[in-house]
Amino acid sequence: MRLVFLSIQAAGDPELLAVYGRRRVGKTFLIREHLKDRIVFEVAGMHEQSTSSQLAGFHAALRRAFPNVASVQPRTWLDAFEILRTCLDQSSKSKHKRVVFFDEFPWLATRKSNFLAAFENFWNDYAALFENYQTHETIVKTLAASNSGLTRDQLIEKSQLTSGGGVTKAIEELALSGFLTETLALDKKAKSSLLRLTDEFSVFYWDWMHSNTAANSWMRQATSRRYEAWCGYAFESICFKHLQQIQRGLGIADVGAHVASWHYSAKKGSQEEGAQIDLLLDRADHCIDLCEIKFSDKPFTITKSYAESLSRKIRVFRERSGRHQTLFLTMITPYGVVANRYSEQLVTKQVTLSDLFGSEKTVP
């Protein structure tokens, strides 16, 4: 966890970090211990209290944190976050990142309080960031519904936006602002590029907060298959933000590699097999790393059926990509891959969380 805190402090862009778990295990202490010198505002939700009581507590926290900034008690959460925004803007600037800490976050989101919508507006205010923000918001919402990403043509079709310069400009602005990641296709054609939503809060908001799923039943949801799928997508987003660390972990940082995606869609009615590879590294030493990203809260086990799926993906790539370089199957997982006959047959290299967050050790 220490590596995560160090990583978000060193990152150039704003970061949203959610720490969750059972009560009384030390989450608040952990955050204060690692970020105490950076916390400029801290508020704690109160158990089973009304919205007005939560707003009063928020206002008291504002007065403690910003005694020289005048404010009145807010009547709504939109007002509360606007006051917080003003306080942050008017307070002294720091060369380091400033931390805003919401403790007991679900308790703040009381029923019909509109807290989640106000928080979403505070963190991702598209209207403040972009002109004609409706296009940006539609793109983000559409990408949030596709865990595997979309090409530009697929995005336009699913979002029902009109193809043209406005969409292209919006995609470029969202990419520059860190909301999405665009990965060039292996053929380096823009129309084949893969677009993925990689802003952590946007991913979380559209999956959980938009439907108010997370407010009162998060711990129950944390054992669901939907939660597992979301973890997988969130982990993929982390990997796409640590491409340099992945290359360093593989020992190819000095080799040079074109980061790309690749997919082949079988023709309708044919017996062909399709395949998609979200991340591959086309290396200058005439090798290609086909990267398989898998989230697991323990060492990942490659089963017989999954091994067959991986073999098929490699075969389709070899047959349809037109590439003849040496292929390496690279597994990117949090805690490595369990050694068994399938991993020994297929996996050439591994990358783990320790590689993504600073360690230069490569898993053999």
Q: For the chain, give the percent of residues with pLDDT over 90.
A: 43
156 plus 176 within the same structural domain: yes
249 plus 237 within the same structural domain: no
Q: For the chain, give the percent of residues with pLDDT over 70.
A: 90
Angle ∠(63,21,298) on CA atoms, nearest 5: 140
CATH number at residue 233: 1.10.10.10
Could you tell me which residues are beta bridge partners of residue 321? none
| 241, 269, 298 - which closes a domain | 241
264 plus 212 within the same structural domain: no
How many domains is the chain partitioned into structurally?
3
Average pLDDT, the chain: 85
13 plus 116 within the same structural domain: yes
Phi, psi of 60 (to 5 degrees): -60, -40
154 plus 110 within the same structural domain: no
Query: Residue 298 pLDDT more than 90?
Result: yes
Q: Is pTM, for the whole model, over 0.85? A: no
248 plus 349 within the same structural domain: yes
Q: At what angle do helices 133-144 and 152-159 cross, to 10 degrees?
A: 100
158 plus 169 within the same structural domain: yes
104 plus 145 within the same structural domain: no
Query: Residue 9 pLDDT more than 70?
Result: no
Give residue for tokens 């003849």.
324
311 plus 325 within the same structural domain: yes
Per-residue pLDDT band at 359 (split at 50, 70, 90): very low
Tell me the C-alpha distance between 32 and 39, whole Å: 8
Residue 330 resides in a domain: yes
Residue 362 resides in a domain: no
135 plus 201 within the same structural domain: yes
Residue 361 resides in a domain: no
Per-residue pLDDT band at 362 (split at 50, 70, 90): very low
Domain extent for 279: 244-356
Residue 364 resides in a domain: no
- H helices present in 241-270, as ranges: 243-249
Residue 185 resides in a domain: yes
Residue 58 in tokens: 């928020």
CATH number at residue 270: 3.40.1350.10
Q: Are strands 194-197 and 99-103 parallel, antiparallel or unpaired?
A: unpaired
